[in-house]
Amino acid sequence: MKDYSPAYGIVPPLITPFNEDKSIDWPTYDRLIDWHVERGVSGLFVVCGSSEYFTLTEEEALKMASAAVKRANRRIRIVAGSTIYEDVEKNIAMTKRMGETGVDGCFITTPRELPAEDKVMVEYFMKIHDAVDCPVYAYEMPGGTNYKFSAQAFAKIGKGKRFIGIKDTTCDLAKIRAKLEAAKGTIKMLNAHTPTLVDSWNLGATGGINTTGNVCPSLFAKLWSLWNGGDLETCELLLRRIVEIDTMMNAAGYVMSAKIAVSMMGVPMKYVIRREGKPVTQERIDLVKKMVDLVKVSEKEFEVERVAA
């Protein structure tokens, strides 16, 4: 039987705190994991796009996963991206190594260099699946490739005995419905598109991997709790607020806006990213401050409670 539990609930794609020299700030990384645990997330997705995935070395990626597993200490699930190369054999080797860190599954990214065709992609994903022993997930990664799984391709990979779920980025409820109906429960879906999150759960999706979860994980956790409790009216109200926060975060420039926001909310980190980005101006900081204030107001309004770390 497949263990689908890591594909349920709120699983933010974790940002990476860096030092001024762009090395990983490991003490802050630990504090950041605790901060998310206290806010009620179900798990964390490390070594991902939000982590600045393609700027990490293999050893950094493995250490990041191992450190997260150790710090989480089974309080939450940890999943990790494991395909940082374009070469399939290198990705097989990396996925094997990543699986040995103790993560609850490895995410396989849709490759950028292959034709965006169902047959090609299914063969690629199943080649990795068949070569490893750990649970695996499909990662439709924005900015990586334009390929999105068709319903038929999604159902095919779902037949794999280690394929647990997908991070879906189609942003289209009709396609989400088609995928879920075709797969017939053999593989789970974590929706990355915040505006359609609750509607996708109503269709059968089992959780969310949402970038805004970096700045308001408590609100996403509350949303999941409300939905599971059947309070759909409050769910819709809270989702609208989360979408408002999401809009503000992206206007300020994600990933840096997330680092500024988290620093304001109790986990100070350097305003450093490895990729080129917008400068950190006072105007940008002020916009993030407005977003943080809205998060805090929303936590009170929707009666968010902390979880004991």
What is the model's pLDDT at position 309?
56
Buried b / exposed e across 236-275, counting CB within 10 Å, b at 16+? eebbebbeebbebbeebbbbbbbbbbbbbbebebeebbee
How far CA 167 is from CA of 12, 152, 176, 194, 250, in Å, comes to 11, 16, 11, 12, 20
Under the banding of pLDDT at 50, 70 and 90, the label for residue 144 is: low
pLDDT digits (tens, 9 = 90+) for 189-220: 999 999 999 999 999 999 999 999 999 999 99
pLDDT digits (tens, 9 = 90+) for 26-64: 999 999 999 999 999 999 999 999 999 889 999 999 999
**Which CATH class, in words, describes the domain spanning 5-241?**
alpha beta
DSSP 8-state class, residue 24: B
| CA geometry: angle 261, 102, 132, nearest 5 deg | 115
pLDDT digits (tens, 9 = 90+) for 242-251: 999 999 999 9
What is the model's pLDDT at position 99?
97
pLDDT, greater one: 277 or 261:
261
